[in-house]
């Protein structure tokens, strides 16, 4: 049995309490969630959540089956079984002590394509998106200057695109 990180997408019906059910299930069965993000999907009334869960394959199989048992859960996908793209968003507030620091921080941020979203006399807030490695590298760089606070959304993921045009969803006429 190998312990590995799994990225899972769960589509759920937008019902009150559905997150409590999922969180309760994880807690009750002793599964550890590393990150979790939830928001509306392309379909009204349906939310897509992305979990990063750590555990042995057998444990993950149980997670998946138990999630699938929840009535409001529509679909569970373990992305480790196929190719997927994933991103994370981070807001990070970095201390600026000297004008030299300011220049250097901005230079590093540029290399990371981090956007400045707030400027203050003694701090800068950056928005960084990307994969986990990029987040961690940026955090490591900023530690030298002093991180005031940061927040990360946790990973969001989608399977890579279908190559079959037949399987694309129908669209409303674009002529109008």
Partner 1 sequence: MKGAEALLKALERHGVDTVFGHPGGAILPVYDALYDSPIKHVLVRHEQAGAHAADAYYRASGRVGVCFATSGPGATNLVTGLATAQMDSSAVVAVTGNVATSLIGTDAFQEADVYGITAPVTKHNYLVKNVDDIPRVVAEAFHIASTGRPGPVLIDLPKDVQQAEFHGSFDVEIDLPGYRPTLTGHAKQVRKAAEAVRAARRPVMMVGGGGQVASEEVMAFARKKGIPVITTLMGIGAYPAGERQALRMPGMHGTVTANRAITHCDLILGAGLRFDDRVTGKISRFAPNATVVHVDIDPAEISKLVKAHVPVVGDLREVLPRLADALDRLEIDDWWEQLEEWKGMYPERYKTTQPLVSQEVIQLLHQATGGECVVTTEVGQHQMFAARLFPTKRPRTFITSGGLGTMGFGLPAAIGAAFARPGEQVVLIAGDGSVQMNIQELATLYKHQLPVVVAILNNGVLGMVRQWQEMFSAKRYSEIYLADSNPDFAKLAEAYGLDGYNVFDRETAAEVVPRALAKGKPAVINFFVYEAEKVFPMIPAGAGVDEMIVGDQEPDDAPAPDPSEVPA
Site for partner 1 in 75-94 (CB under 8 A): 75
> Is position 20 an interface residue for partner 1 (rule: CB under 8 A)?
yes
Please pick, from the candidates 34, 72, 101, 132, the single residue that binds partner 1 as defined by CB under 8 A: 72
Q: How far is the CB of 50 from partner 1 (least distance, A)?
A: 18
Which of 5, 69, 115, 143 touches partner 1 (CB under 8 A)? 69
Report the C-alpha gap between 176 and 32 in whole angstroms.
Answer: 49
- CB-wise, 45 or 136, nearer to partner 1? 45
C-alpha 9/C-alpha 155 separation (Å) is 10
- Which range, of 31-39, 65-73, 119-127, 150-158, touches partner 1 by CB under 8 A? 65-73
Residue from 35, 41, 62, 141 touching partner 1 (CB under 8 A): that is 62
- DSSP bridge pairs for 10: 49, 76
Nearby residues of 43 by Cβ (< 8 Å), 6 or more positions away: none
Q: Which of 7/18 has CB closer to partner 1?
A: 18
Output 73 or 105, the one with its CB closest to partner 1.
73
Q: Dump the DSSP string for 79-105.
A: GGGS-EEEEEEEEEEEE--SHHHHHHH
Burial (CB count <10 Å: 0-12, 13-18, 19+), residue 167 = exposed
With CB under 8 A as the contact rule, which of the stretches 12-20, 125-133, 137-145, 160-168 interacts with partner 1?
12-20
61 binds partner 1 (CB under 8 A): yes
Asked whether the beta carbons of 74 and 11 are under 8 A apart, the reply is: yes
Instruction: Please answer whether residues 128 and 145 qualify as being in contact, where contact means their C-beta atoms are separated by less than 8 angstroms.
Output: no
Asked if residue 131 binds partner 1 (CB under 8 A), the reply is: no
Q: How far apart are CA 148 and CA 158, in angstroms?
A: 32
Q: Which residues bind partner 1 (CB under 8 A)?
A: 12-13, 16-17, 20-21, 24, 28, 58, 61-62, 65-66, 68-75
């Amino acid at each position: 049995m190998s312990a590995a990180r799994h990225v899972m997408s769960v589509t759920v019906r937008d019902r009150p309490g559905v997150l409590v059910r999922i969180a309760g299930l994880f807690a009750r069965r002793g599964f550890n969630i590393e990150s979790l993000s939830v928001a509306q999907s392309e379909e009204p009334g349906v939310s897509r959540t992305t979990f990063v869960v750590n555990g042995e394959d057998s444990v993950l199989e149980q997670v998946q089956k138990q999630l699938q048992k929840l009535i409001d859960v529509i679909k569970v996908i373990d992305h480790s079984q196929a190719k997927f793209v994933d991103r994370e968003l981070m807001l990070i507030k970095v201390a600026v002590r000297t004008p030299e620091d300011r220049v250097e921080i901005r230079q590093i941020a540029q290399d990371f394509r981090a956007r400045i979203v707030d400027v203050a006399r003694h701090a800068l807030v950056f928005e960084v998106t990307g994969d986990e490695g990029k987040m961690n590298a940026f955090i490591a760089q900023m530690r030298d200057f002093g991180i005031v606070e940061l927040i990360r959304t946790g990973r969001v993921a989608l399977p890579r695109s279908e190559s079959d045009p037949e399987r694309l969803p129908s669209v409303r006429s674009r002529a109008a």
